[in-house]
Chain A
Amino acid sequence: MSDPFAIFLAKLVANTLFLLLTEALMLPFFAIFYNISLWAQLPALSLVLFLGSVGIAIAGTAISAISAQARMRELLLPLLLLPLLTPVLVVSATVTGSLLDRDPVVQWKGIAFLGVFDLVFLTALWIFGQYFLEE
């Protein structure tokens, strides 16, 4: 009987990697088409993208476990997920925006907030994960 959290962790890592890969592919195009220089901001930008992607992946993994057991799951997943992800989307977009705008001040508060979000949801998933997969 495998540990349910291990299953979630595996899905989480997979989803995060997929998101990070997509972001890595998109960034050069953004740099070219919008004339944005990335190099100076790369460390902070990577951090935001990583924490944001983890946040999306955690919530996504949890909610997909719920929606998979309901009807209209393809519609239900984004419907349930989007309100839940508001903090991640708002903060990630704001911090990324300020980084790409070459703000002299890095928004560490925002980045810390993303970390908090990830921590809260990861803990919730760890505590309640087993119940999602109950028969």
Chain B
Amino acid sequence: MTKRILLGVAATALVIVAAYADFYVAPTERTMGLIQRIFYFHAATAWAGEMVFFVCFVANLMYVWKREQKYDWLGVTCAEVGVACITIVLITGPIWAKPVWGIYWTWDARLTSTFVLWLLYISYLLLRTLIEEPSRRALLSALFGIFAFLDVPLVFFSIRWWRTQHPAPVIMGGQGSGLDPTMKKVFYFNVLAMHIFCAFLIVERYILEKLRHDVDLLQREAEVQ
């Protein structure tokens, strides 16, 4: 219990410091000005979300292989936390875009891929509600999760091949891209903070899932008596 509280406090502290850094440490960007600061929160959340979905993928593989419930719990946990992250990405993105591009949305490579990613994991969660038997639900959603994750890079490359309007990648881009060193540090700190915060959410949500399982067991025991 204390470890949980410690993680929660650390996560909250990191996130607050990160927000402070976003506003007061990072220099103002030349062309976009103040609105660019959304980038730190937006992109860091996107990275954390993608990492969370990767953990979901691994959990799905482990479940299919080992059939241990804990992997199913981890899978649904990561899917929910991931969806929360991507929801935020899809909301903060357009908030940034309107002043900068003049439009809220465009069907370019990154936006469309992110939207499809969001749809895939919403589908994963929906699928789970439509299968009642726990072990069947765990297996089928794990299988769908595997196919969904395999699809993610394919979605991205297919749409990037199709068109591009998102600003040229600043972190892992080609020639002519790159961040001011202070901005880079602030960004990576945000990435760290968001990863720790997501870890905290994962722990709490996982415990909830385990608790659900305990309640089911106890209910069955109570019925027997």
A residues adjacent to B (C-beta < 8 A): 59, 62-63, 66-67, 69-72, 76, 79-80, 82-84, 86-88, 90-91, 94, 109-110, 113, 116-117, 120-121, 124, 128, 131-132, 134
Q: How far is the CA of A82 from the CA of B112 in the complex (A)?
A: 13
Q: Are A84 and B151 in contact (CB under 8 A)?
A: yes
Q: Are B123 and A79 in contact (CB under 8 A)?
A: yes
Q: How far is the CB of B133 from chain A (nearest CB, A)?
A: 9
Q: How far is the CA of A70 from the CA of B138 in the complex (A)?
A: 12
B residues adjacent to A (C-beta < 8 A): 64, 112, 116, 119-120, 123, 126-127, 130-132, 136, 139-140, 143-144, 146-148, 150-151, 154-155, 157-159, 161-162
Q: How far is the CA of A5 from the CA of B219 in the complex (A)?
A: 40
Question: Which residues of chain A have C-beta atoms less than 8 A from B150's C-beta?
Answer: 120-121, 124
Q: How far is the CB of A112 from chain B (nearest CB, A)?
A: 10
Q: How far is the CB of A113 from chain B (nearest CB, A)?
A: 6
What residue of chain B has the Cβ atom nearest to residue A92's Cβ?
B158
Q: Are B146 and A128 in contact (CB under 8 A)?
A: yes
Q: Are A69 and B136 in contact (CB under 8 A)?
A: yes
Q: Are A62 and B64 in contact (CB under 8 A)?
A: no
Question: Which residues of chain B have C-beta atoms less than 8 A from A94's C-beta?
Answer: 161-162
A-B pairs with CB below 8 Å: how many? Answer: 84
Q: Are B139 and A113 in contact (CB under 8 A)?
A: no
Question: Which residues of chain A have C-beta atoms less than 8 A from B143's C-beta?
Answer: 66, 128, 131-132
Q: Is the interface of B mostly helix, strand, loop or mixed?
A: helix
A66-B144, A71-B131, A132-B143 in contact; A83/B158 too (CB < 8 A)? no
Q: Are A109 and B64 in contact (CB under 8 A)?
A: no
What residue of chain A has the Cβ atom nearest to residue B135's Cβ?
A134
Contacts A/B (CB < 8 Å), 8 sampled: A63-B147, A66-B140, A70-B127, A71-B130, A83-B123, A84-B147, A86-B116, A94-B162
Question: Which residues of chain B have C-beta atoms less than 8 A from A83's C-beta?
Answer: 116, 119-120, 123, 148, 151
Which of B140, B151, B155, B158 interacts with A69 by CB under 8 Å? Answer: B140
Q: How far is the CA of A66 from the CA of B154 in the complex (A)?
A: 21
A91-B161, A113-B157, A128-B143 in contact; A84/B131 too (CB < 8 A)? no
Question: Which residues of chain A have C-beta atoms less than 8 A from B146's C-beta?
Answer: 124, 128
Question: Which residues of chain B have C-beta atoms less than 8 A from A120's C-beta?
Answer: 150, 154
Question: Besides the contacts A76-B126, A87-B157, A113-B161, what 8 more A-B pairs have beta carbons closer than 8 Å?
Answer: A69-B140, A82-B119, A83-B123, A84-B120, A87-B154, A113-B158, A116-B154, A121-B150
Q: How far is the CB of A48 from chain B (nearest CB, A)?
A: 14
Which of B127, B136, B140, B158 interacts with A86 by CB under 8 Å? Answer: B158
Question: Which residues of chain A have C-beta atoms less than 8 A from B157's C-beta?
Answer: 87, 113
A84-B120, A87-B151 in contact; A63/B144 too (CB < 8 A)? yes
Q: How far is the CB of A94 from chain B (nearest CB, A)?
A: 6
Q: How far is the CB of A32 from chain B (nearest CB, A)?
A: 29
Which of B112, B123, B132, B139 interacts with A131 by CB under 8 Å? Answer: B139
Q: How far is the CA of A86 from the CA of B109 in the complex (A)?
A: 12
Q: Are A87 and B127 in contact (CB under 8 A)?
A: no
Q: How far is the CB of B119 from chain A (nearest CB, A)?
A: 4
